[in-house]
Amino acid sequence: MLLNGIRNAAIVHRWDHSETEQAMSLSLRDSMHLVCDPENLEASVQEVFQTMLGVQCQRVVGPAAVRPKAEEETVTAVVGFGGLLSGACLFSCNGSAAMKVASLMTGTEFDTIDDTVKDGIGEICNMLAGGWKSKVPDLAANCGLSVPAVISGRDYNLHVQAPEFQLRHAYRFDGAGFEVTIVCDGLQ
């Protein structure tokens, strides 16, 4: 008899959980104005760079505002989103900007893009992704982040097929430039 009560409680709990998931799904669609709001990305960039690096960033508007030249070494970090929203946060900059970010984070000067620089760029991307998703209440609790992946090299492109939406901002600080992109390829 006791097991039947536990099983019934589990069934009721699963039923309630499904209704909750459905309500969250609807509320995320209802929160699209927050998900797509470029000010949320702007606020996240300012918070992370002021708190972690002690610098102010200026947003740069215009096509290819801070994109590195094909012959420059670039560093790109990618943090995936999973849960109510699937997609990714990308942070991309040239090698000198990557070394400057890592120097500000660690207090150490860098003259090459080593593992510490790559780890620093990955961590900045991770903080930006977390900061951005925290601006949308439904995402804060119902969207996980992947471990950062970092790509470095010359003349490469990252391609995302037909995103549902995309936010891309370019910034400068202390003569260095970078881009932050939020890509959503699906909402639940």
Q: What is the mean pLDDT of residues 171-188?
A: 91
What crossing angle do the helices spanning 95-106 and 115-133 adopt, rounded to 10°? 80
Q: What is the pLDDT of residues 7-35, one digit of tens each?
A: 444 444 444 444 444 444 445 677 788 88
* Most distant pair of Cα atoms in the chain: their distance: 73
Confidence grade of residue 78 (pLDDT, cut at 50, 70, 90): very high
* φ, ψ for residue 2, nearest 5 deg: -65, -40
H/E element, 29:
helix 2-30
Rounded to 5, what percent of the chain is helix, strand, coil? 45, 30, 25
pLDDT for the residue 63 = 58
The length of the chain, given as a count of residues: 188
Q: What is the pLDDT of residues 85-122, one digit of tens each?
A: 999 999 999 999 999 999 999 999 999 999 999 999 99
Segment among 41-50, 69-78, 146-155, 163-172 with least mean pLDDT: 69-78
User: Which tokens is 23 given?
Assistant: 């309500």
CA distance linking residue 30 with residue 107, whole number of Å = 43
Q: Which residues contact 38 (CB under 8 A, 6 or more apart)?
A: 167, 169
15-to-35, 103, 104, 133, 173 alpha-carbon distances in Å: 28, 51, 50, 27, 51
